[in-house]
Amino acid sequence: MHKKVAVILSGCGVFDGAEVHESVITLLRLDQRGAQVQCFAPNIAQHHVLNHLSGAEMPESRNVLVESARIARGAVKDVREARVEDFDALIVPGGFGAAKNLSDFAFRGEQCEVQPDVLALAKAFAAAHKPIGLICIAPSMAPRIYGAGIECTIGNDAETAAVLTRMGAKHVDCTVDEIVEDHHHKLVSTPAYMLAQSIAEAASGINKLVDRVLELA
């Protein structure tokens, strides 16, 4: 029986949306493993728009759902349409969009909040004891989803790990090609581009995460 997986995107582009490589690797691996996938994104304005060539902020507004459609080839739905009972697992790729659009971790650190529609869906998966995979900086949302004591990784950046610890998470250092699993909560995380120096390095951990999430589903 094919597993059904929801993937939450946060826009399109590493600096203000979903990390494109991480998102595509995730979708590719899920397809290779025979999973049925539906992408979702919140129907909200991006925090800001950055020029990915120069890094400069651009004087325009973009919608997270509309931008996510670039990665999903149009096949993306408003996250408010997602029903936990329709899926076996949830995966969230990284990119600054996870910390700027899906949450405000990039700006408020340990005082951050997760976008309400995203938080409601993630909490529903957690309550149903269905596996969740969080990639790159997306594990910064884990303490808000699961509460204190959740085990996760963003790699080995001491400053970011310290913020997660203050939020109540139990951070576990992890290499780019490995995963960290909180067995009780069925949460799987991997550093990806928090550490990766190439797309192949990013894929090494993401593929393991996808495989493990599907095993847990």
Residues with active-site annotation:
136
- Distance, in Å, from the CA atom of 166 to the CA atom of 213, rounded to the nearest integer, reads 27
Burial group, residue 40, by CB count within 10 angstroms (0-12, 13-18, 19+)? buried
CA distances to 58, 68, 148 from 93, in Å: 24, 12, 22
Q: What is the DSSP letter of 21?
A: H
- Distance, in Å, from the CA atom of 137 to the CA atom of 4, rounded to the nearest integer, reads 24
Whether the Cβ atoms of residue 13 and residue 58 lie closer than 8 Å to each other: no
- Distance, in Å, from the CA atom of 187 to the CA atom of 196, rounded to the nearest integer, reads 21
Write the CB contacts of 183 (distance below 8 Å, at least 6 apart in sequence): none
Burial group, residue 17, by CB count within 10 angstroms (0-12, 13-18, 19+)? buried
Instruction: Report CA torsion sign: 181, 182, 188, 190.
Output: negative
